[in-house]
Structure 1
């Protein structure tokens, strides 16, 4: 771990990431990179360049991808891994994390979340505000669990999937890679084909 943190992305999701980092109080300084060249600061923190400048800061900063889009976050995270960047895990102090929980590098766990025991969360995931993940879940890499989503026990979510705000997943359910579950939807059966699923219970659209 380094004494300085650099966040790629200074808009909505990046701001929340920065807020978590500030509250963790582990870095002497925090700054942003953002491709909007007119942006000079965000959250009171300096924007010191664009995403292309990240390679000049690898030795001095921990680097975190503060971008909400799963595909974009995955692409940048994998580049950072390739060049040996130090990628932290960000967990809000008001999150509740159970025993024997594994969380991958580059994952952000937001305020008010609950992650219960024996759950594994992959790298560069978003566990968003007020969501709950119960015992023995397995969340793949580059997944976004939106605010207020609730996953019961022994749920599996495949890589790159996105569970919308307020969605609910019943226990012992498996959701395959690359799925989008719409806001407020309820999943009561396994989802084996990638796609967009909405409704109560969900159906593929």
Structure 2
């Protein structure tokens, strides 16, 4: 299998794959100055990596927007998931293709995690949550039960979201924020309780 993107985020995914006992052939990165990462070869193009149809991919890029762009660029390849053995994932939840679940994450019953999502270290997703494509749930975030998080949203480190909350798409939730009411698309929310300080333009 191969990873697309050779950054600090990629280092963590490399170690998840190692912990799973999986074989990583190498990484692909557009920067020609990057030739290796954690002793794995880094290639600059799909052609240089000699990709074959059976190769599996994970996009190892932290930016939600860039991850979406690359996923469309790589349409037709086979995406896989990377789930750390120390994660606790309910057999009654679903995890989409290209998604990464890091160490000590909990995903509880009947939650649905979309494609190309990052569930970062120690975050907690309680029962019946919906996390849509290209979301990043940062370390130590807690989503209570029946929370919905829209496409491309970033929940900052240590944030807490109360039960039954709906967070829109491409929202930015600041570190340590406490979300007690619904959040509209493209909002930037900070503080305790969370308050909207800005509305971003749709990309």
> TM-score interval w.r.t. the shorter chain?
over 0.9
Could you tell me how far 1:192 is from its partner in structure 2? 2.1
Aligned residues: 197
Cα gap change, 1:181 to 1:53, in 2 (>3 Å): farther
2:103 aligned with 1:111: yes
Q: Which residue of structure 1 lines up, in the alignment, with residue 21 of structure 2?
A: 25
Please give the secondary structure, in 2, of the residue aligned with 1:172.
Answer: coil
Q: Quick check: 1:58–1:85 contact (8 Å CA) kept in 2?
A: no
Could you tell me how far 1:26 is from its partner in structure 2? 2.8
Q: Quick check: 2:81–2:96 contact (8 Å CA) kept in 1?
A: yes
Gaps of 5+ in 2: 198-203
2:73 aligned with 1:76: no
Scaled by the length of structure 1, the TM-score of the pair is 0.91
Cα gap change, 1:78 to 1:170, in 2 (>3 Å): same
Q: Which residue of structure 1 lines up, in the alignment, with residue 200 of structure 2?
A: none
Give the Cα separation in 2 of the matches to 1:63 and 1:32: 9
2:189 aligned with 1:197: yes
**Deviation above 6 Å: which 4+ runs of structure 1?**
none
Q: Quick check: 1:116–1:134 contact (8 Å CA) kept in 2?
A: yes
Please give the secondary structure, in 2, of the residue aligned with 1:141.
Answer: coil
Q: Quick check: 1:58–1:86 contact (8 Å CA) kept in 2?
A: no
Give the 5 Å matches for 1:9-158: 9-27=5-23, 29-47=24-42, 49-51=43-45, 53=47, 56-80=50-74, 82=75, 84-158=76-150
Could you tell me how far 1:151 is from its partner in structure 2? 0.4
Give the Cα separation in 2 of the matches to 1:63 and 1:91: 14
Scaled by the length of structure 2, the TM-score of the pair is 0.92
Q: Quick check: 1:98–1:116 contact (8 Å CA) kept in 2?
A: yes
